[in-house]
A = this chain, B = another copy of it.
Amino acid sequence: MYKITVLPGDGIGPEVTAQATRVLAASGRRMGVEFCFREALIGGAAYDAAGHPLPEETLALCREGDAVLLGAVGGPKWDQLPVHLRPEVGALLPLRKKLGVYANLRPARVFPALAGASTLKPEVVSGLDILVVRELTGGLYFGEKKREDIPGGQRVTETLVYTTEEIRRVARRAFELAGKRRKKLTSVDKANVLESSRLWREVVTAMAVDYPDVAVNHMLVDNCAMQLVRNPRQFDVLLTENLFGDILSDQAAQLTGSLGMLPSASLGDGTALYEPIHGSAPDIAGRQLANPVAAILSGAMLLRYSCGLEEGAAAIENAVTAVLEQGYRTADIMEPGKRQVGTAEMGRLIAELV
Protein backbone atom coordinates (compact mmCIF):
# COMPACT_ATOMS: atom_id res chain seq x y z
CA MET A 1 0.00 0.00 0.00
CA TYR A 2 1.40 3.35 -1.07
CA LYS A 3 0.21 6.59 0.49
CA ILE A 4 0.14 9.36 -2.08
CA THR A 5 -0.48 12.95 -1.08
CA VAL A 6 -2.40 14.75 -3.80
CA LEU A 7 -2.18 18.55 -4.00
CA PRO A 8 -4.59 19.65 -6.73
CA GLY A 9 -3.79 23.36 -6.31
CA ASP A 10 -5.14 26.05 -8.60
CA GLY A 11 -6.54 26.51 -12.11
CA ILE A 12 -6.46 23.28 -14.09
CA GLY A 13 -4.58 21.52 -11.26
CA PRO A 14 -7.66 19.73 -9.86
CA GLU A 15 -8.80 18.53 -13.30
CA VAL A 16 -5.47 17.03 -14.28
CA THR A 17 -4.60 15.45 -10.92
CA ALA A 18 -8.03 13.77 -10.95
CA GLN A 19 -7.08 12.00 -14.16
CA ALA A 20 -3.60 11.15 -12.89
CA THR A 21 -4.99 9.44 -9.78
CA ARG A 22 -7.54 7.63 -11.92
CA VAL A 23 -4.77 6.22 -14.09
CA LEU A 24 -2.61 5.38 -11.06
CA ALA A 25 -5.54 3.53 -9.50
CA ALA A 26 -6.04 1.57 -12.73
CA SER A 27 -2.38 0.63 -12.85
CA GLY A 28 -2.57 -0.40 -9.19
CA ARG A 29 -5.43 -2.77 -9.94
CA ARG A 30 -3.45 -4.27 -12.79
CA MET A 31 -0.37 -4.81 -10.62
CA GLY A 32 -2.22 -5.85 -7.48
CA VAL A 33 -0.88 -2.82 -5.62
CA GLU A 34 -3.03 -0.46 -3.59
CA PHE A 35 -2.74 3.32 -3.58
CA CYS A 36 -4.25 5.46 -0.90
CA PHE A 37 -4.75 9.04 -2.11
CA ARG A 38 -4.98 11.83 0.44
CA GLU A 39 -5.78 15.35 -0.74
CA ALA A 40 -4.56 18.59 0.78
CA LEU A 41 -4.74 22.28 -0.04
CA ILE A 42 -1.93 24.27 -1.61
CA GLY A 43 -1.40 27.56 -3.43
CA GLY A 44 -4.12 30.11 -3.96
CA ALA A 45 -6.76 27.55 -3.03
CA ALA A 46 -5.06 27.07 0.35
CA TYR A 47 -4.69 30.80 0.86
CA ASP A 48 -8.36 31.36 0.17
CA ALA A 49 -9.45 28.55 2.49
CA ALA A 50 -6.84 28.75 5.23
CA GLY A 51 -5.00 32.08 4.91
CA HIS A 52 -1.67 30.53 3.87
CA PRO A 53 -0.56 28.95 0.59
CA LEU A 54 1.24 26.10 2.36
CA PRO A 55 -0.68 25.14 5.53
CA GLU A 56 1.10 23.08 8.20
CA GLU A 57 -1.33 20.16 7.70
CA THR A 58 -0.44 20.05 4.02
CA LEU A 59 3.25 19.85 4.78
CA ALA A 60 2.67 17.18 7.43
CA LEU A 61 0.64 15.07 5.03
CA CYS A 62 3.35 15.43 2.37
CA ARG A 63 6.04 14.28 4.78
CA GLU A 64 4.06 11.25 5.89
CA GLY A 65 3.27 10.01 2.42
CA ASP A 66 5.32 7.88 0.05
CA ALA A 67 5.07 10.53 -2.66
CA VAL A 68 3.43 13.84 -3.48
CA LEU A 69 1.50 14.52 -6.68
CA LEU A 70 1.01 18.22 -7.34
CA GLY A 71 -1.25 19.83 -9.95
CA ALA A 72 -0.25 23.48 -10.32
CA VAL A 73 -0.28 26.64 -8.24
CA GLY A 74 -0.81 30.32 -8.93
CA GLY A 75 -2.98 32.68 -10.91
CA PRO A 76 -3.63 36.40 -11.34
CA LYS A 77 -5.98 36.34 -8.37
CA TRP A 78 -3.06 35.94 -5.95
CA ASP A 79 -0.39 37.97 -7.78
CA GLN A 80 -0.93 41.08 -5.69
CA LEU A 81 -0.55 39.39 -2.31
CA PRO A 82 2.55 40.16 -0.23
CA VAL A 83 5.41 38.14 -1.74
CA HIS A 84 5.61 35.62 1.12
CA LEU A 85 1.95 34.70 0.66
CA ARG A 86 2.05 34.23 -3.11
CA PRO A 87 1.72 30.65 -4.32
CA GLU A 88 5.27 30.47 -5.75
CA VAL A 89 7.31 31.98 -2.92
CA GLY A 90 4.89 31.01 -0.18
CA ALA A 91 4.20 27.42 -1.22
CA LEU A 92 6.22 25.96 -4.08
CA LEU A 93 9.71 27.00 -3.02
CA PRO A 94 9.29 26.11 0.68
CA LEU A 95 7.68 22.80 -0.26
CA ARG A 96 10.73 21.93 -2.36
CA LYS A 97 13.09 23.06 0.36
CA LYS A 98 11.29 21.28 3.19
CA LEU A 99 10.99 18.02 1.31
CA GLY A 100 14.66 18.40 0.37
CA VAL A 101 13.98 17.53 -3.25
CA TYR A 102 17.24 18.73 -4.68
CA ALA A 103 17.11 16.96 -8.05
CA ASN A 104 14.46 18.10 -10.49
CA LEU A 105 14.07 15.75 -13.47
CA ARG A 106 12.44 17.30 -16.53
CA PRO A 107 12.23 15.12 -19.59
CA ALA A 108 11.69 16.85 -22.94
CA ARG A 109 10.59 14.20 -25.37
CA VAL A 110 9.00 14.45 -28.80
CA PHE A 111 6.22 11.89 -29.16
CA PRO A 112 6.30 10.46 -32.70
CA ALA A 113 2.58 11.15 -33.10
CA LEU A 114 3.14 14.82 -32.26
CA ALA A 115 6.36 15.51 -34.16
CA GLY A 116 4.62 18.18 -36.26
CA ALA A 117 3.71 20.24 -33.18
CA SER A 118 7.21 21.69 -32.84
CA THR A 119 8.11 25.05 -34.36
CA LEU A 120 11.43 23.44 -35.30
CA LYS A 121 11.91 21.51 -38.49
CA PRO A 122 11.05 17.82 -38.09
CA GLU A 123 14.55 16.76 -39.15
CA VAL A 124 15.92 18.74 -36.18
CA VAL A 125 13.61 17.46 -33.43
CA SER A 126 12.16 14.10 -34.40
CA GLY A 127 13.14 11.54 -31.79
CA LEU A 128 14.31 14.25 -29.39
CA ASP A 129 14.71 12.85 -25.87
CA ILE A 130 16.48 15.12 -23.38
CA LEU A 131 16.44 14.79 -19.61
CA VAL A 132 17.21 18.00 -17.76
CA VAL A 133 18.45 17.39 -14.20
CA ARG A 134 18.15 20.71 -12.41
CA GLU A 135 19.41 21.48 -8.92
CA LEU A 136 16.28 22.60 -7.09
CA THR A 137 17.01 23.73 -3.54
CA GLY A 138 20.02 26.03 -3.82
CA GLY A 139 21.46 28.96 -5.72
CA LEU A 140 19.92 32.41 -6.16
CA TYR A 141 16.43 31.10 -5.43
CA PHE A 142 17.27 30.47 -1.81
CA GLY A 143 19.96 33.06 -1.13
CA GLU A 144 19.55 36.01 1.20
CA LYS A 145 17.79 38.99 -0.36
CA LYS A 146 18.18 42.55 0.85
CA ARG A 147 16.64 45.83 -0.33
CA GLU A 148 17.96 49.18 0.93
CA ASP A 149 17.29 52.83 0.27
CA ILE A 150 20.22 54.70 -1.23
CA PRO A 151 20.46 58.25 -2.56
CA GLY A 152 18.28 58.44 -5.66
CA GLY A 153 16.59 55.07 -5.29
CA GLN A 154 17.15 51.61 -3.92
CA ARG A 155 19.69 48.83 -4.03
CA VAL A 156 18.95 45.11 -3.98
CA THR A 157 21.58 42.54 -3.06
CA GLU A 158 20.96 38.83 -3.45
CA THR A 159 23.34 35.98 -2.81
CA LEU A 160 24.00 32.76 -4.62
CA VAL A 161 25.53 29.94 -2.59
CA TYR A 162 26.61 26.47 -3.68
CA THR A 163 28.60 23.94 -1.72
CA THR A 164 30.55 20.92 -2.93
CA GLU A 165 28.01 18.58 -1.37
CA GLU A 166 25.00 20.33 -2.93
CA ILE A 167 26.60 19.94 -6.33
CA ARG A 168 27.71 16.38 -5.71
CA ARG A 169 24.34 14.98 -4.69
CA VAL A 170 22.49 16.31 -7.72
CA ALA A 171 25.34 15.39 -10.06
CA ARG A 172 25.27 11.85 -8.71
CA ARG A 173 21.64 11.53 -9.77
CA ALA A 174 22.46 12.89 -13.19
CA PHE A 175 25.34 10.45 -13.68
CA GLU A 176 23.19 7.52 -12.58
CA LEU A 177 20.34 8.52 -14.86
CA ALA A 178 22.69 9.05 -17.79
CA GLY A 179 24.11 5.56 -17.20
CA LYS A 180 20.62 4.12 -17.75
CA ARG A 181 20.01 6.18 -20.88
CA ARG A 182 22.35 7.07 -23.75
CA LYS A 183 25.31 7.57 -21.38
CA LYS A 184 25.98 11.17 -22.19
CA LEU A 185 26.05 13.94 -19.60
CA THR A 186 26.38 17.62 -20.44
CA SER A 187 27.08 19.75 -17.40
CA VAL A 188 26.03 23.37 -17.91
CA ASP A 189 27.67 26.32 -16.20
CA LYS A 190 29.06 29.80 -16.72
CA ALA A 191 32.57 28.93 -15.57
CA ASN A 192 34.17 31.76 -17.56
CA VAL A 193 32.45 34.28 -15.27
CA LEU A 194 31.01 32.71 -12.11
CA GLU A 195 33.03 31.24 -9.26
CA SER A 196 30.12 28.95 -8.33
CA SER A 197 30.29 27.58 -11.86
CA ARG A 198 33.98 26.92 -11.51
CA LEU A 199 33.29 24.91 -8.34
CA TRP A 200 30.43 23.17 -10.18
CA ARG A 201 32.74 22.19 -13.02
CA GLU A 202 35.48 20.96 -10.67
CA VAL A 203 33.07 18.77 -8.70
CA VAL A 204 31.49 17.25 -11.82
CA THR A 205 34.90 16.67 -13.38
CA ALA A 206 36.18 14.91 -10.27
CA MET A 207 33.09 12.67 -10.13
CA ALA A 208 33.36 11.64 -13.78
CA VAL A 209 36.11 9.11 -12.99
CA ASP A 210 33.56 7.11 -10.95
CA TYR A 211 31.28 6.79 -13.97
CA PRO A 212 33.60 5.60 -16.71
CA ASP A 213 30.72 4.52 -18.95
CA VAL A 214 29.24 8.02 -19.04
CA ALA A 215 30.74 10.55 -21.47
CA VAL A 216 30.85 13.97 -19.83
CA ASN A 217 31.20 17.36 -21.43
CA HIS A 218 30.93 20.89 -20.05
CA MET A 219 29.06 23.63 -21.82
CA LEU A 220 28.57 27.31 -21.07
CA VAL A 221 24.94 28.21 -20.45
CA ASP A 222 24.77 30.73 -23.30
CA ASN A 223 26.18 28.20 -25.72
CA CYS A 224 23.75 25.59 -24.41
CA ALA A 225 20.80 27.89 -25.15
CA MET A 226 22.17 28.14 -28.70
CA GLN A 227 22.84 24.43 -29.11
CA LEU A 228 19.31 23.59 -27.96
CA VAL A 229 18.13 25.53 -31.00
CA ARG A 230 20.86 24.45 -33.40
CA ASN A 231 21.03 20.73 -32.74
CA PRO A 232 19.05 19.62 -29.69
CA ARG A 233 19.52 15.93 -30.40
CA GLN A 234 23.17 16.19 -29.39
CA PHE A 235 21.94 16.09 -25.76
CA ASP A 236 21.04 13.17 -23.54
CA VAL A 237 21.18 14.36 -19.90
CA LEU A 238 21.67 18.07 -19.13
CA LEU A 239 22.84 18.85 -15.60
CA THR A 240 22.34 22.41 -14.36
CA GLU A 241 22.14 24.61 -11.31
CA ASN A 242 18.73 25.97 -10.27
CA LEU A 243 18.26 29.13 -12.33
CA PHE A 244 19.96 27.87 -15.50
CA GLY A 245 17.79 24.76 -15.27
CA ASP A 246 14.65 26.84 -14.91
CA ILE A 247 15.42 28.61 -18.19
CA LEU A 248 16.89 25.73 -20.19
CA SER A 249 14.32 23.14 -19.16
CA ASP A 250 11.53 25.41 -20.33
CA GLN A 251 13.36 26.08 -23.56
CA ALA A 252 13.90 22.34 -24.07
CA ALA A 253 10.26 21.63 -23.25
CA GLN A 254 9.05 24.12 -25.82
CA LEU A 255 11.18 22.46 -28.50
CA THR A 256 8.71 19.58 -28.38
CA GLY A 257 5.78 21.87 -29.12
CA SER A 258 3.57 20.01 -26.67
CA LEU A 259 4.03 21.24 -23.12
CA GLY A 260 0.82 19.57 -22.06
CA MET A 261 2.61 16.23 -22.41
CA LEU A 262 5.60 16.86 -20.13
CA PRO A 263 5.92 15.58 -16.55
CA SER A 264 8.53 16.23 -13.89
CA ALA A 265 9.91 14.60 -10.78
CA SER A 266 11.69 16.29 -7.88
CA LEU A 267 13.77 13.83 -5.91
CA GLY A 268 15.67 14.05 -2.68
CA ASP A 269 16.48 11.52 -0.01
CA GLY A 270 12.92 11.39 1.37
CA THR A 271 9.45 11.87 -0.06
CA ALA A 272 9.53 13.00 -3.68
CA LEU A 273 7.33 15.44 -5.56
CA TYR A 274 5.77 14.95 -9.00
CA GLU A 275 4.10 17.57 -11.13
CA PRO A 276 3.29 18.45 -14.73
CA ILE A 277 5.56 21.21 -16.02
CA HIS A 278 2.66 23.25 -17.35
CA GLY A 279 1.20 25.92 -15.10
CA SER A 280 -2.25 26.45 -13.64
CA ALA A 281 -3.67 27.95 -16.89
CA PRO A 282 -6.53 29.78 -15.15
CA ASP A 283 -7.96 30.86 -18.52
CA ILE A 284 -9.02 27.32 -19.42
CA ALA A 285 -9.69 25.98 -15.92
CA GLY A 286 -12.87 24.02 -15.28
CA ARG A 287 -13.75 23.63 -18.95
CA GLN A 288 -12.40 20.14 -19.67
CA LEU A 289 -9.89 21.70 -22.05
CA ALA A 290 -6.71 20.83 -20.13
CA ASN A 291 -4.42 18.05 -21.26
CA PRO A 292 -4.06 15.57 -18.38
CA VAL A 293 -1.16 13.68 -19.97
CA ALA A 294 1.61 15.66 -18.24
CA ALA A 295 0.01 14.88 -14.87
CA ILE A 296 -0.57 11.25 -15.85
CA LEU A 297 3.06 10.87 -16.93
CA SER A 298 4.11 12.50 -13.65
CA GLY A 299 2.22 9.62 -12.07
CA ALA A 300 4.31 7.22 -14.13
CA MET A 301 7.48 8.86 -12.83
CA LEU A 302 6.07 8.49 -9.32
CA LEU A 303 5.70 4.75 -9.80
CA ARG A 304 9.24 4.54 -11.15
CA TYR A 305 11.10 6.65 -8.61
CA SER A 306 9.04 6.47 -5.42
CA CYS A 307 7.58 2.95 -5.65
CA GLY A 308 10.15 1.11 -7.76
CA LEU A 309 7.27 -0.07 -9.97
CA GLU A 310 9.01 0.18 -13.32
CA GLU A 311 6.46 -2.12 -14.94
CA GLY A 312 3.57 0.12 -13.90
CA ALA A 313 5.41 3.22 -15.10
CA ALA A 314 6.08 1.68 -18.49
CA ALA A 315 2.45 0.54 -18.79
CA ILE A 316 1.22 4.10 -18.29
CA GLU A 317 3.76 5.48 -20.76
CA ASN A 318 2.78 2.88 -23.34
CA ALA A 319 -0.91 3.60 -22.82
CA VAL A 320 -0.28 7.29 -23.49
CA THR A 321 1.57 6.48 -26.70
CA ALA A 322 -1.18 4.09 -27.81
CA VAL A 323 -3.99 6.57 -27.18
CA LEU A 324 -2.12 9.20 -29.20
CA GLU A 325 -1.60 6.73 -32.00
CA GLN A 326 -5.31 5.93 -31.98
CA GLY A 327 -5.78 9.60 -32.88
CA TYR A 328 -7.18 11.01 -29.63
CA ARG A 329 -6.13 14.57 -28.82
CA THR A 330 -6.96 17.20 -26.24
CA ALA A 331 -7.56 20.76 -27.46
CA ASP A 332 -3.93 21.92 -26.99
CA ILE A 333 -2.52 19.28 -29.36
CA MET A 334 -5.50 18.98 -31.73
CA GLU A 335 -4.76 18.65 -35.44
CA PRO A 336 -7.06 18.21 -38.45
CA GLY A 337 -8.15 14.59 -38.91
CA LYS A 338 -7.77 13.69 -35.21
CA ARG A 339 -10.46 13.16 -32.57
CA GLN A 340 -10.72 15.85 -29.92
CA VAL A 341 -11.57 14.70 -26.41
CA GLY A 342 -11.92 16.45 -23.06
CA THR A 343 -9.70 16.15 -20.00
CA ALA A 344 -11.67 13.38 -18.30
CA GLU A 345 -12.23 11.42 -21.50
CA MET A 346 -8.49 11.44 -22.20
CA GLY A 347 -7.88 10.16 -18.67
CA ARG A 348 -10.49 7.43 -19.12
CA LEU A 349 -8.98 6.25 -22.41
CA ILE A 350 -5.52 5.99 -20.89
CA ALA A 351 -6.78 4.29 -17.72
CA GLU A 352 -8.62 1.75 -19.82
CA LEU A 353 -5.48 0.76 -21.70
CA VAL A 354 -3.31 0.53 -18.59
In this complex, what residue of B is CB-closest to A141?
B193
A243 close to chain B: CB less than 8 A: yes
Q: Is the interface of A mostly helix, strand, loop or mixed?
A: helix
In this complex, what residue of B is CB-closest to A242?
B193
- A127-164 to B contact mask, C-beta < 8 Å, 1/0: 00000000000001100011100101111111111111
User: A interface, how many residues as a size bin?
Assistant: 35 or more
A194 close to chain B: CB less than 8 A: yes
Neighbour of A250 across the interface among B198, B223, B246, CB < 8 A: B223
What separation, in Å, do the CA atoms of A2 and B93 have in the docked complex?
54
A250 to chain B, nearest CB (A): 4
What separation, in Å, do the CA atoms of A257 and B226 have in the docked complex?
10
Neighbour of A163 across the interface among B153, B203, B250, CB < 8 A: B153
Residues in B whose Cβ lies below 8 Å from that of A158: 159-160, 194-196
Which residues, 218 to 253 on A, are CB-close (under 8 Å) to B?
221-223, 225-231, 243-244, 246-251, 253
Contact status B229-A247, CB under 8 Å: no
What separation, in Å, do the CA atoms of A133 and B86 have in the docked complex?
30
Contact status A246-B222, CB under 8 Å: yes
A120 close to chain B: CB less than 8 A: yes
Which residues, 188 to 224 on A, are CB-close (under 8 Å) to B?
190, 192-196, 198-199, 203, 221-223
Show 19 residue pairs from A and B whose CB-CB distance is below 8 angstroms, ordered by the A residue: A89-B193, A119-B121, A119-B124, A119-B229, A119-B230, A120-B121, A145-B196, A153-B168, A154-B164, A155-B162, A159-B159, A159-B160, A160-B160, A190-B243, A221-B247, A222-B247, A226-B250, A229-B254, A247-B247
